[in-house]
Amino acid sequence: MSPEPILPSSFTVGAIPAPGVMAVDWEERVNFDRLRAYRLARVREALERSELGALLLFDMNNIRYLTATHIGEWARDKAARYALITRTGDPILWDFGSAAKNHRLHAPWFPEDSWRSGMVGLRGSVPPEAGLFVGAVGEVVSVLREHGVADMPVGLDLAELPMVLELRDQGVEVRDGQQTMLDAREIKNQDEVMLLATAASMVDAAYHLIFEEMKPGVRESDLVAEVNRLLYALGSEHVEGINAVGGERGNPHPHDFSDRLLRPGDSVYFDILHAYNGYRTCYYRTLNVGRATSAQRDAYKRARDWLDAAIEAVKPGVTTDQIARLWPTAEELGFPNEMEAFALQFGHGLGMNLHERPIISRLVSLDSPMELKEGMVFALETWAPSADGYSAARIEEEVVVTSDSAKVITLFPAEELVVANAY
């Protein structure tokens, strides 16, 4: 059984640690052996609670959570790597070519036989007629038989369609395994929380850079480039994306950046998404260029009030519908329905994926609420349009659910609208 998923008392009475990106001998920081053991135990427990005999995983986040391996972001959309865990055996990873040999040399936490080479279709580049799917499924079925679970369903998270069809052709009952993995991943241990807080600390620095650089003539894309450079210099392994939305682009939210020049008086909101040791950020801030109007400040205050109300409500036992009801309806924001306003008033779990449990939204939470638990980490984000008809404010905080409240780990100032290079 895994350790009780309760955060150490130091996490609940003081600041959440973000101890730095280096390992040192003079301070207890992230304990990677403990992290690997915790994650494996969580998967085993989730599998045991399910009706599945095994999990077959193609999702890079699930593979990393289970096996603690990573071969670069280039592999994320290839659907080439896959891992299998049964109720009784060690995980087996079929990895891309020579990566398997590398794991045998440098990843001693599983037996050498856990690391195998394998490949299927590379998103159709290798046609099914080449027989790679047939061979891969044959190996999987052999392991299922060896471990005595061949007659039980197999949970699959995502895969190329020929893989799904071949599993069925070889007699494997395929079910949804993503929900089982999300069950496993929803409660973070202290090492995961430290990694998430460290990732957020890098974005703190990125927002200070933005604050210093925002001035007329700078493009949104210029700031995106500078933030990418800084994050990689600080130790980020992947910058997933950066939104930079200024001036008349603010309403409706386009979820992107452009080459637009910043102008005096612009409200500009940013979202910085990156990963440190696999753990991600989603971290919005709104800053103004030089000055701010009363309409812009009012929009910011409304967004902040909605956000603060949500944070204040967070504690174990609260359900997601209780938080979603604190936020305005789609119609109040100027949209015809909740689907069109989705993610403007939003909460989502953070971990190895950008969107984990819980999801908090009027679209889904009112009818399908989820209970908040100690050890969950999630982002809460709000958006408010300005009365000028084009500006908008967007704010987001990442929070850790402790024994009795939420602790914020996104620390760049956001209590009031920040004006950069004020005139």
* 155 Cβ neighbours under 8 A, 6+ residues apart: 47, 50, 52, 54, 55, 56, 175, 176, 177, 178, 180, 181
Domain assignment of residue 126, yes or no: yes
| Cβ count near 320 (within 10 Å) | 22
Output phi, psi for 287, to 5 deg. -130, 150
The string of DSSP codes covering 215-278 is: -TT-BHHHHHHHHHHHHHHHT-SEEEEEEEEEGGGSSS--SSB--PBP-TT-EEEEEEEEEETT
| pLDDT, position 14 | 72
383 and 258 together in one domain: yes
| pLDDT, position 7 | 82
At residue 395, the 3 state secondary structure works out as strand
220 and 308 together in one domain: yes
With beta carbons less than 8 A apart as the criterion, state whether 63 and 93 touch.
Answer: yes
User: What's the mean pLDDT when you consider all of the chain?
Assistant: 96
Q: What is the pLDDT of residues 73-108, one digit of tens each?
A: 999 999 999 999 999 999 999 999 999 999 999 999
Domain assignment of residue 24, yes or no: no
162 and 296 together in one domain: no
* 50 Cβ neighbours under 8 A, 6+ residues apart: 155, 180, 183
61 and 209 together in one domain: no
Domain assignment of residue 19, yes or no: no
Residue 20 has pLDDT above 60, yes or no: yes
Q: What is the pLDDT of residues 44-77, one digit of tens each?
A: 999 999 999 999 999 999 999 999 999 999 999 9
Residue 3 has pLDDT above 60, yes or no: no
Q: For residue 271, what are the β-bridge partners?
A: 243, 284
Residue count (the chain): 423
CATH of the domain at 79: 3.40.350.10
Domain assignment of residue 21, yes or no: no
Share of the chain above pLDDT 70, in %: 98
At residue 321, the 3 state secondary structure works out as helix
Residue 305 has pLDDT above 80, yes or no: yes
- In which band, very low, low, confident or very high, does the pLDDT at 15 lie, cut at 50, 70 and 90? confident
Domain assignment of residue 43, yes or no: no
Instruction: Give the pair of three-digit tokens for residue 103.
Output: 């794991």
- Distance, C-alpha 321 to centroid of its chain: 21
The string of DSSP codes covering 46-80 is: HHHHSS-SEEEE--HHHHHHHH-----GGGTTT--
Domain limit, last residue, from 124, 152, 176:
176
Mean pLDDT within 379-407: 97
CATH of the domain at 387: 3.90.230.10
With beta carbons less than 8 A apart as the criterion, state whether 340 and 329 touch.
Answer: no
| pLDDT, position 2 | 45
- In which band, very low, low, confident or very high, does the pLDDT at 4 lie, cut at 50, 70 and 90? low
Residue 1 has pLDDT above 50, yes or no: no
Domain assignment of residue 58, yes or no: yes
* H or E element in which residue 115 lies: strand 115-117
Q: How far apart are CA 83 and CA 100, in angstroms?
A: 12
260 and 395 together in one domain: yes
Mean pLDDT within 342-360: 97
Domain limit, last residue, from 142, 176, 210:
176
Q: What is the pLDDT of residues 248-265, one digit of tens each?
A: 999 999 999 999 999 999
- In which band, very low, low, confident or very high, does the pLDDT at 414 lie, cut at 50, 70 and 90? very high
297 and 230 together in one domain: yes
At residue 167, the 3 state secondary structure works out as helix
Mean pLDDT within 402-409: 94
| pLDDT, position 232 | 98
Q: What is the pLDDT of residues 121-137, one digit of tens each?
A: 999 999 999 999 999 99
Domains identified in the chain, total number: 2
216 and 139 together in one domain: no
Q: How far apart are CA 165 and CA 157, in angstroms?
A: 14
* H or E element in which residue 346 lies: strand 346-349
Domain assignment of residue 184, yes or no: no
166 and 238 together in one domain: no
With beta carbons less than 8 A apart as the criterion, state whether 198 and 19 touch.
Answer: yes
96 and 218 together in one domain: no
Q: What is the pLDDT of residues 170-197, one digit of tens each?
A: 999 999 999 999 999 999 999 999 999 9
The candidate with the shortest Cα–Cα distance to 39, out of 17, 22, 12, 61, is 61
Helices (H), 283-325: 294-313, 320-324
104 and 235 together in one domain: no
Domain assignment of residue 25, yes or no: no
348 and 286 together in one domain: yes
Residue 32 has pLDDT above 90, yes or no: yes
With beta carbons less than 8 A apart as the criterion, state whether 98 and 119 touch.
Answer: no
Residue 162 corresponds to which amino acid? P
Domain limit, last residue, from 176, 200, 229:
176
| pLDDT, position 6 | 64
412 and 314 together in one domain: yes
Q: How far apart are CA 113 and CA 94, in angstroms?
A: 10
Residue span of the structural domain in which 305 resides: 190-420
